[in-house]
Amino acid sequence: MPPSSPSLKQNLDVSAMEDLEEKWSLWMAEAGQTVEREVEEEFLRNRNLFEMDDGTHAKWVKEDPDAEERLGILLVFTPEEVSELVCAWQDAQDGNMGAGSFVAGWLGHFMDFIDIASDGQEM
């Protein structure tokens, strides 16, 4: 086995990189641009959708380029959270001050959320 030298390894690395660049260019010419276009089309088609799992819960959306922007908000509750909030609302309507305080606190946090989300409006 011949001794390895830094220049031989360097030449192999340069050759491998050139081969990789050639293969990449060929792939981009044959299929890459199609994949790139499909990804862009998918992004544009879904840009107004909200996903629970991706952490996007508020954003400014437009139905089309001429439409006015609207703030879209995704709210996600467990059944227990829905029950707790609705029961507190009903109890507050019946005069329960503790329940009213709970609802007011929840609404205060929600308004803070809207305030922060609205700062991202594109002008």
What domain count does the chain have?
A: 2
3-state secondary structure of 111: helix
Q: What is the domain range of residue 99? A: 50-123
Specify which residues 99 forms β-bridges with: none
Q: Are residues 22 and 41 in the same domain?
A: yes
Q: Are residues 75 and 117 in the same domain?
A: yes
Question: Whole-structure pTM over 0.85, yes or no?
Answer: no
Q: Are residues 42 and 62 in the same domain?
A: no
Tally of CB atoms within 10 A around 88: 20
Looking at residue 26, what is its pLDDT?
Answer: 85
Per-residue pLDDT of the chain (123 residues; tens, 9 = 90+): 455 556 656 666 878 888 888 888 888 888 878 888 887 887 777 766 667 666 567 888 877 778 888 888 888 888 999 999 999 999 999 999 999 999 999 999 999 989 888 886 543
Q: Are residues 120 and 60 in the same domain?
A: yes
Q: Are residues 56 and 95 in the same domain?
A: yes
Q: Are residues 36 and 62 in the same domain?
A: no
